[in-house]
A and B are shown apart, each in its own frame.
Chain A
């Protein structure tokens, strides 16, 4: 199996994640979309590391995971707080920061 297939898979996953973020109103689902995008990026990084025989990409993937974990904690906390105060998890309802 050609190694480029991993890249194609990464692209498909990234596109799916993006679409999810752009189209879904539920904050949890949009958040999942972001996670999918991050994992797609990780997959691409690992694949490139394999192609070039270089560990830099794999190390970078670890960093992304750490940052993603932290981001999940913060993001979920925000979503839960918004849900508590507004009884909704729709991202379109939290539009009070309009200019």
Chain B
């Protein structure tokens, strides 16, 4: 059983720790963070045991279902719906478990020092543990329902952590924005579950995905699009991308863990996990690829104009997840590459974010790159680790980003007709733009003239902050190559995702590689020309129309405001008005009855003689009626 029975414990341990930290209150302030680090370390240990166990196991016996408390016990039982508490331990989920626990553990360590002076550090760590538990539940669950619990759990943790410094209203608003936009995606997941349940296969991954080919194409397309909506919400893909930039209001370790390495990739996980559904619905799959292609360019364009180091990285995250979505939408050829890029991206982007955190830590929480410059001497460790992350995201061989991104570009160029050209060129162009904005970020921060005030004296943080950055940088360097050894991650994931059939790209692979590297070089050179060779002004120049648009996130908020928020408010006002009408009708009816009652009440005056008179009067009337009837009969 290769240690699969550890699966429930890696979820329960951080959950218990989070509960304890939240309930213990101020009493736990002194040691709370170490408890959280220990819980996260225990998860990492559990994840490592599971992976090595699986590695050693016979390839045919690498998948397992772990039921809790025992098999055959339903968690939810309602009519035809039976949902057991079952965890699926297979190559895909343990890959995620290892990524989440490893990066999570490093970021826990980093946060001990980063949040050292925050009076609410214990609460922060409780939320981090809650996030780890929810994320592990998300990736380990064996049914859409249980996945949804984790899905909402990470959403909650994300909300709590974005608005962690909620004394600033803007931060609280950013948390709310993320939460509301995620709800839209969650509706998609709920609708997908309802559609799947109507097919009668239940909601477990096993039966649903096995029966996916039996779905009608219409149903499969509807389910696929609903799942894509959910993935768009969670992974900040167009059209639900607007929350990610604002989510940078949270503490930087949160941005690294949740909004770069793990949670935002949950959408990619969902699409890849339900690949059988998308294979039954080519139209939905095509939409996935289109969304990915649009987002990767969108994020890249936005990244070029931002002066806020974290927002640039957020735009870059969006763009890189766009690559993963594109790969996931390419079909069997791309799934493994999507996960591959997800893992390598998790390392180098978390490293970049931690580097950004280190810079902010040194610069008194400033995020304006126009006021950095020349930090390479002052922050040597951050300089080197971020430099390696920068080269990795650029896709410079042999760093990790090269291995994963190059394959996505290659896969995007396969197929027939117009398709490879559209997706391939988008991916290729994205690589060039990525090189531009990441080089811009790197040069503006670390090289060139010092543009900060004289009273700022930047210095590296403690070893607790440096160590995670160094480990992640090492991962950014070596992981891509390591994951191609001996069958690589493609072969490792093949039992879950299917064997990818190799197809030749429409342009020969070496030519593609050369084109990619040339574009990357050009992007880098342009950034060098603009931001290193010529001086960077401290105040942002007004810029042309395109720059202004990109600075304003391509007007995404105005777009949402005009297209969704304003009609929504109109609708609400209309509903309020019509409700007044309905209310008025029923209120009037009520008032009429009450008035009639009030008048009738006066008849009951309490005088016995009046009652007697009424009784006798009634008797007389009755007698008169009876007599008249007799007289006529």
Which residues in A have some Cβ–Cβ distance to B below 8 Å?
18, 21-23, 25, 30, 91-92, 94-99
Contact = CB atoms under 8 A, between A and B. Distances in A.
Contacts of B612: 21-22
Contact of B609 (A92, A97, A99): A92
Interface stretch (B76-84, B248-256, B262-270, B597-605): B597-605
B613 interface: yes
5 closest Cβ contacts across the A-B interface? Answer: A99-B604, A95-B606, A98-B606, A99-B601, A91-B608
Contacts of A23: 609
Contacts of A98: 604-606
Chain B interface residue number, banded: 10 to 19
B616 interface: yes
B604 A91 contact: no
Nearest to B603: A99
Contacts of A21: 609, 612
B605 A91 contact: no
A18 B613 CA distance: 9
A99 B600 CA distance: 9
A11 B536 CA distance: 120
Nearest to B619: A18
Nearest to A23: B609
Interface string B461-500: 0000000000000000000000000000000000000000
Contacts of A97: 604, 606
A21 B165 CA distance: 83
Contacts of A25: 609
B604 A95 contact: no
Interface string B602-633: 11111111001100100000000000000000
Nearest to B604: A99
Contacts of B606: 94-99
Nearest to A21: B612
A91 B608 CA distance: 7
Contacts of B613: 22
A92 B607 contact: yes
A14 to B, nearest CB: 10
Nearest to B613: A22
B601 A95 contact: no
Given A18-B616, A94-B606, A99-B604, 18 more contacts: A21-B612, A22-B609, A22-B613, A30-B609, A91-B608, A91-B609, A92-B607, A92-B609, A94-B608, A95-B606, A95-B607, A96-B606, A97-B604, A97-B606, A98-B604, A98-B606, A99-B601, A99-B602
A98 B605 CA distance: 4
A30 B607 CA distance: 13
A95 to B, nearest CB: 3
23 contacts: A18-B616, A21-B609, A21-B612, A22-B609, A22-B613, A22-B616, A30-B609, A91-B607, A91-B609, A92-B607, A92-B608, A92-B609, A94-B606, A94-B608, A95-B607, A97-B604, A98-B605, A98-B606, A99-B601, A99-B602, A99-B603, A99-B604, A99-B605
A98 B600 CA distance: 12
A79 B578 CA distance: 59
A46 to B, nearest CB: 21
B486 to A, nearest CB: 93
Interface in B273-301: none
Contacts of A18: 616
Nearest to B602: A99
A23 B616 CA distance: 13
Interface in B184-235: none
Interface in B314-340: none
B581 to A, nearest CB: 34
Contacts of B616: 18, 22
Contacts of B604: 97-99
B604 to A, nearest CB: 3
A84 B252 CA distance: 86
Nearest to A37: B616
The residue in A18, A96, A99 that gathers the most chain B C-beta atoms within 10 A of its C-beta is A99
Contacts of A96: 606
Contacts of B607: 91-92, 95
A51 to B, nearest CB: 17
A95 B606 CA distance: 4
A18 B608 CA distance: 13
A15 to B, nearest CB: 10
Nearest to B607: A95
A11 B616 CA distance: 14
Interface in B580-606: 601-606
A95 B603 CA distance: 13
B596 to A, nearest CB: 13
Nearest to A25: B609
A13 to B, nearest CB: 15
Interface string B546-584: 000000000000000000000000000000000000000
